[in-house]
Chains A and B, each alone.
Chain A
């Protein structure tokens, strides 16, 4: 190295550390000064702390390439992968860069706050207990089942819907940011529901209707508040909320309406156009800003295509921009939501 004498830029990592003693979690922040350059990630900075300053700092990591799902944590208020988030993206004005909706907490320009995921018990420092998260994934019976609805033939596009969600790396970021989970810790959660959609939309799955029935029960698809946080949080572009909306649509199409959520949805069906009750497209308005932007965002477009499907939302919000909502709704009527064939692949991720 020829340039070793150049003093590097540094920033402060403010890490929320924690230990459990006698069953009780005690947390406290600790500041570390770390050097960085244009390619340093939060994970790189944590590795620096652990390697050079304090080996007791505890976090999970493996692939360092945003594919194994180990390193999701809360950075400057939002759940993200430490290995995918660059220090320079967090400093002075760049906060939103790794987040789909570009609205993030603006903190102290030179302090980066790092903490463990939310909605899950902390075991130590940045490590949370992932067992409950995975238990919920197991609860949806995450494997293709034999049964009467199995289709023999698959085509090039058969897995289009499956691919929409199969980029999920089970990192838990969506679960950590999910608002419904705060209210109801038994809610099965965005990742498990996205995984469920993966099976419901697989032509080889034999028990689709049975699955939809199960998912319509308590703590299932109707417990989501459709806050959109999971879409923002997901580092792989999975858009769990979209999968949940699709599951609801399929459940209602299959006549599974004997539950509160679905009944609610039917009541609101006609209100939407008239009153501008908050719905998915409006959600997107909120996150993406303007009506015109919808067409440019594949995930958003899919999500927004509500069409003939009733548009369930458990809370009725009167909406300010009624005209815009009506316009979107009219647009969606022309292009119904496709829950059977084509869907945008979740691709490499939103960030």
Chain B
């Protein structure tokens, strides 16, 4: 057993930002990551990070845009805090050495993003997440954060309502270990891999959230899944919203723009849920081609495309075989971001399990509510990485964490070890291949629980989840070895993904209204009377299934935040 003050699971932007607070406060801080930190999914973010840095901008406007974008179920206190802290959080990163793009006068450059009233998205060329991630990793090295590279979270341990650490597997050797901690933070990112069409890294399987649920920390907002309007038709690879920010059009098979029908003011730059629904409506009405529509940049001209959108052009050529200079790019709404996560208080601590914190996409402080604004999630990672990091330091130094915990992890390790042995011991004969389970699951989720939902479809998705759960009990692996057993790792990821999918379908069935990214054709309007609330999803060990609850939306009484119709 190894002891740390703070153990953070996940070395993406949120995890590394939280670790910075721990280590610079002098605490023994460790970060665990199943892939090398620089491989974390944060590196894929192209577009940028929102912050009202410009003196002509005002964080109150940013906050209002966010509350509205969230379709009024975001928590207003966290949103205010995030937007107010945003400029400093970006400047912190700049100071650490992040090469943000500049204006002529040396100030940080900003571009326009969807659903917002001001160009407030700071960026580093078209590799913002990559630049930020490298910068925070550099700081982790500078200050000596203990990094467990390529260690896999197997279980979050708890004792009497208090998180005590984590059982992790050293992937390289297959050895298990209990890391004891006074505060545990989950920063394992999202779970977009549950849909067949997604922009996510293959590692986005919701491991940390699933384990937190099992340990007694419920998730919330699982029904809200963001579909990005412009994933490449075939691979789902993302074409950044920045392209529409530069003036790209969405056109149907008829060659005409259609967004004026759905969002007469903001057109292509309306909020993501609105644009995605418009596209699917066009496709359903026969104005699509092969299940997609087109993103057209031809009118921007070759020079601008080459100068400002080189990476995008390359992606379209590599993965769709289309040169955007001459042809429109086939796109379709693609799962991009999962709003759900571990339900926390304003500062990032679980509402149910003391000493368990969460930050980044794995958390539900609910700054995104029913729909995240583009470039607000990188912001969430650095603001709440920082805030939650500081709160953990306070928890360890001045609150319950001070007394530490004295648990013996050996029992938990033995249990996990038995679980792996059982998995490896399952026979091929009469067994199920993990690919079979995964393929069926993601296709069913795509078909029945994506942009548009209704009761009949959700029932079908629910049945698919039950089939997947039954399949998991018979799942066999080919690789029985100890060292670098990725066959076992992906099977464990699949278990987590199935739980996340179960939570998503259950909450989507529960929420009988349409709000933000959750759109039910059988309940097409928003119902503020009954549904201005978060739905929580916990794990019930007895029934081996999800149990639902409610948690109130945190409001501030700001009259401007009163629910209004969302028009763009």
Which residues does A use to contact B, with CB under 8 Å? Answer: 19-20, 38-39, 50-52, 54-56, 58-65, 67-70, 84, 86, 123-124, 127, 130-131, 134, 138, 141-144, 153-156, 158-159, 162-163, 166-167, 169-170, 202, 204, 345, 347-349
A39-B321, A67-B43, A142-B141 given; 18 more Cβ-contact pairs under 8 Å: A20-B483, A63-B39, A64-B202, A68-B201, A69-B43, A142-B138, A153-B106, A154-B106, A158-B106, A159-B101, A163-B99, A166-B99, A170-B38, A345-B125, A347-B310, A348-B310, A348-B313, A348-B314
B56 within 8 A of A: no
Q: Which of B44, B101, B104, B485 has the most CB of A within 10 A?
A: B44
Asked if residues A63 and B41 are in contact (CB atoms below 8 Å), the reply is: yes
Q: A56-B478, A70-B39, A159-B99 are in contact. Are A63 and B483 (CB under 8 A)?
A: no
A159 and B102 contact, Cβ closer than 8 Å, known pairs A62-B201, A65-B237, A67-B43: yes
In Å, the complex CA distance between A67 and B96 comes to: 22
B477: interface (CB < 8 Å): yes
Q: Would you give the shortest CB distance from A2 to chain B, in whole angstroms?
A: 11
> Are the CB atoms of B44 and A127 closer together than 8 Å?
no
Q: A156-B103, A163-B125 are in contact. Are A204 and B43 (CB under 8 A)?
A: no
A158 CA / B435 CA spacing, docked (Å) = 49
Which of chain B's residues have a CB closer than 8 A to the CB of A349?
314
Do B102 and A154 have beta carbons less than 8 Å apart?
A: yes
B388 interface residue, CB < 8 Å from A? no
The CA-CA distance from A70 to B149 in the complex, in Å, is: 13
Partner of A56, one of B44, B106, B202, B487: B487
Q: Which residues of B contact A (CB under 8 A)?
A: 35-36, 38-41, 43-44, 96-97, 99, 101-106, 124-125, 127, 130-131, 134, 138-139, 141-142, 149, 172, 201-203, 234-235, 237-238, 310-311, 313-315, 318-321, 433-435, 477-479, 481, 483-487
Closest to A205 in B: B97
Q: How far is the CB of A12 from chain B (nearest CB, A)?
A: 20
B130 touches A67 (CB 8 A): yes
Q: Is B102's CB under 8 angstroms from A62's CB?
A: no
Chain B residues whose C-beta falls within 8 Å of the C-beta of A143 in the assembled complex: 96-97, 138-139, 141-142
List 5 A-B pairs, Cβ < 8 Å: A52-B433, A56-B481, A138-B141, A156-B102, A202-B97
Residue of A nearest to B312 (CB): A348
A63 touches B102 (CB 8 A): no
C-alpha spacing A62/B235, complex, angstroms: 14
Contact B479 A56 (CB under 8 A): yes
Contact B104 A156 (CB under 8 A): yes
B103 neighbours in A (Cβ, 8 Å): 156
Q: Which of B106, B139, B237, B238 contacts A155 (CB 8 A)?
A: B106
Task: Please state if B41 and A123 are interface contacts (CB–CB under 8 Å).
Answer: no
A19, B483: Cα distance in complex, Å: 9
Across the interface, which residues of B come within 8 angstroms of A155, CB to CB? 102, 104-106
List residues of chain A with CB within 8 A of the CB of B97: 143-144, 202, 204
Expressed in whole angstroms, the Cα–Cα distance for A134 and B147 within the complex equals 12
Q: Which residue of B lies closest to A60 (CB)?
A: B35
Q: How far is the CB of B95 from chain A (nearest CB, A)?
A: 8
Whose C-beta in chain B lies nearest to the C-beta of A66?
A: B318
Bound state CA distance, A52 and B28, in angstroms? 44
Q: How far is the CB of A202 from chain B (nearest CB, A)?
A: 7
**Residues of chain B with a CB closer than 8 A to A39's CB:** 234-235, 319-321
Which A residues are CB-close (under 8 A) to B483?
A: 19-20, 123-124
List chain B residues, Cβ under 8 A from A159. Answer: 99, 101-102
B residues less than 8 Å from A59 (CB atoms): 486
Chain A residue at smallest Cβ distance from B237: A65
**How far is B203's CA from A63's CA once the two chains are assembled, in angstroms?**
8
With A51-B435, A69-B39 already in contact, the answer to whether A162 and B99 are too (CB < 8 A) is yes
**Which B residues are CB-close (under 8 A) to A65?**
44, 237-238, 315
Closest to B313 in A: A348
Q: Tell whether, in the assembled complex, residue A52 and residue B310 are in contact, meaning their CB atoms are under 8 Å apart.
A: no
Cβ–Cβ contact A167 & B127, under 8 A: yes
* CB <8 Å contact, A68 and B43: yes
Q: Which residue of A lies closest to B438 (CB)?
A: A51
Please state if A62 and B478 are interface contacts (CB–CB under 8 Å).
Answer: no
In the complex formed, the residue of A with least CB distance to B483 is A124
**Chain A residues near B315 (CB, 8 Å)?**
65
**Does A64 lie within 8 Å of B201, measured CB to CB?**
yes
Contact B203 A62 (CB under 8 A): yes
Using known A-B contacts A58-B486, A69-B38, determine if residue A347 contacts B142 with beta carbons closer than 8 Å: no
Alpha-carbon gap, A158 to B99, bound state (A) = 9
A63's nearest neighbour on chain B, judged by CB, is B201
Distance in Å: Cβ of B336 to nearest Cβ of chain A: 13
Given A68-B39, A143-B139, A55 contacting B44 (CB threshold 8 A): no
Task: Report the separation of the CA atoms of residues A348 and B320 in the bound assembly, to the nearest whole angstrom.
Answer: 16
Q: Which residues of A contact B478 (CB under 8 A)?
A: 54-56
Establish whether residues B36 and A61, one from each chain, have CB atoms under 8 Å apart when the complex forms. no
- The CA-CA distance from A227 to B126 in the complex, in Å, is 30
A84→B318 contact, CB < 8 A: yes
Picked from A60, A63, A141, A345, the residue with its CB within 8 Å of the CB of B43 is: A63
State the Cβ distance, B105 to closest chain A Cβ, in Å.
8
A85 closest partner in B (C-beta): B318
Which of B44, B172, B313 has a CB less than 8 Å from the CB of A63?
B44
A207 to chain B, nearest CB (A): 13
CA distance A251 to B203 in the complex (A): 42
Q: Give every chain A residue within 8 A of B102 (Cβ-Cβ).
A: 154-156, 158-159
Which of A19, A55, A86 meets B434, CB within 8 Å? A55
B484: chain A residues within 8 A (beta carbon)? 58, 123-124, 127
Interchain CB contact under 8 A, B479 and A169: no
Bound-state Cα–Cα, A142 to B311, Å: 26
Q: State the CA gap A307–B451 with chains docked (Å).
A: 59
Smallest CB–CB gap between A88 and chain B, Å? 10
Measured CA separation A41–B78 after assembly (Å): 42
> How far apart are A38's CB and chain B's nearest CB, in angstroms?
6
**Least distance between A149 CB and chain B CB atoms (Å):** 14
A163 to B125, CA, bound (A): 9
* Smallest beta-carbon distance A134→chain B, Å: 7
Contact B138 A55 (CB under 8 A): no
Most B-side CB within 10 Å, residue of A143, A155, A162: A143
Taking a contact as CB atoms under 8 Å apart, the answer to whether B36 and A134 are in contact is yes
Minimum CB distance partner of B38 in chain A: A170
Q: Which residues of B contact A144 (CB under 8 A)?
A: 96-97, 138
